[in-house]
Amino acid sequence: MLLFWTLAGLLAAVAAALLAYPLLARRRTGGVSSDALNTALYAEQLAELDADLRSGAIMQRDFDAASRELKARLVEDVGVAPPRESTRQSRGTAIAVGLAVPACAIGIYLLVGSPQLLGPPPQADRAAELTPHEIEAMVERLAERLKTDSQNVEGWMLLARSYAAFGRFKESADAYATAVKLRPGDAQLLADYADALGMSLGRKLGGEPEKLVLRALEIDPRNLKALALAGSAAFERKDYKGAAGYWERMLPLVPADSDDARSIRANVDDARALEKGAPPPAQAAAAPKAGLRGEVKLAPVLAANAAPTDTVFIFARAVQGPPMPLAVLRKQVRDLPVQFVLDDSMAMAPGASLSGSPQVIVGARISKSGNPVAQPGDLQGLSAPVANDASGVTIVIDSVVR
């Protein structure tokens, strides 16, 4: 994330990237779908805008203006149809996928609900509603194109990021492997490959993923993602001193008063405490809280629509902020009704914890395919906003995803 961008630089980069990237890609390859490239790039730029807004680097009004500029250009370049539902619904789809694409450390948000794109100004009423299903279809078209255009490194990178956004980490790692062969000296690409490979191996960074991370740091010792992953790999094997060392190298590279810096310092403190044999400060502080507790039930009217082995995702996400889940628990329909506890140990990404959001929405989704991304035909239920340590929360799965 480029939290230190000024608004002027951000707008200039967005405009230049949107105008130049598809043209350059076509000139070099002549084969990648311009719609897929434009949409994926749009999602990345919107994600960076959202990150800057949340970090305080830009104001809401500047965020709105820049995002409207992005959307207008997407409509011009892709030429998709106007929305069938509200502008608010179309805004979140792009945000949900966009936030997943640049995921920085071990984690991608599973469970995208029904997010929406930012609405255009009144004079630009041609909007685009892009559902996860539609974007996934575009990803498959890009994969087909790359079968006949195997030397297009940008295309492979976009494909890898898109697969990761949908939780398809094995395919993501394979696409990154191809991109790395074409561009072996790219530190960021190596770090992204290590991340996806680690996710595909069950969230384990030991072995080949860590080797990739160390290669990335040999090329660029200041690469933030590589430093974060190197620290996580060291922490995973209980090398707490090494983990703290890698994470401390990140601190001069981020704004001192940013959320990233606070999260990094907390990780360093935990590692230093464990190095001395003491409980981590974060764990000690969280100990008095029992987590968020409740029960998930399936409405009898929908019981015939679910098989006993269907996957049930139970999750909490912030009332305000990105739709990325703060905690996730996996069960099966045969377990329902089921008592659940969600806490910080179930966080999906560093710096995005349940305890960090005072008010959350708790949801439960039955996935017919086992895919963490909501699909038409899935069954779901959501709570009203509740405190992050509430108890007695009842979720009734009583609606069908359309």
Domain definitions of the chain by residue range: 7-133, 292-400
Residue 139 is predicted with a pLDDT of 81
CB 90 within 8 A of CB 130: yes
Q: Which CATH number among 2.60.40, 2.30.110, 1.10.3470, 1.10.132 corresponds to the domain 292-400?
A: 2.60.40
- Name the nearest CA neighbour of 233 among 260, 262, 253, 213: 213
Residue 50 is predicted with a pLDDT of 63
CB 33 within 8 A of CB 138: yes
CB 371 within 8 A of CB 390: no
Decide if pLDDT at 11 tops 80: no
High-pLDDT (> 90) share of the chain, %: 32
Residue 7 is predicted with a pLDDT of 42
Residue at 64: amino acid letter: D
**Tell me: the pLDDT tens digits for 231-284?**
999 999 999 999 999 999 999 998 988 888 888 988 899 889 888 887 666 555
Residue 113 is predicted with a pLDDT of 37
Task: Give the C-alpha distances (Å, rounded to integers) separating 248 from 230, 231, 257.
Answer: 12, 9, 15
What average pLDDT does the chain have? 74
Decide if pLDDT at 208 tops 70: yes
304-332: average pLDDT: 86
Decide if pLDDT at 366 tops 90: yes
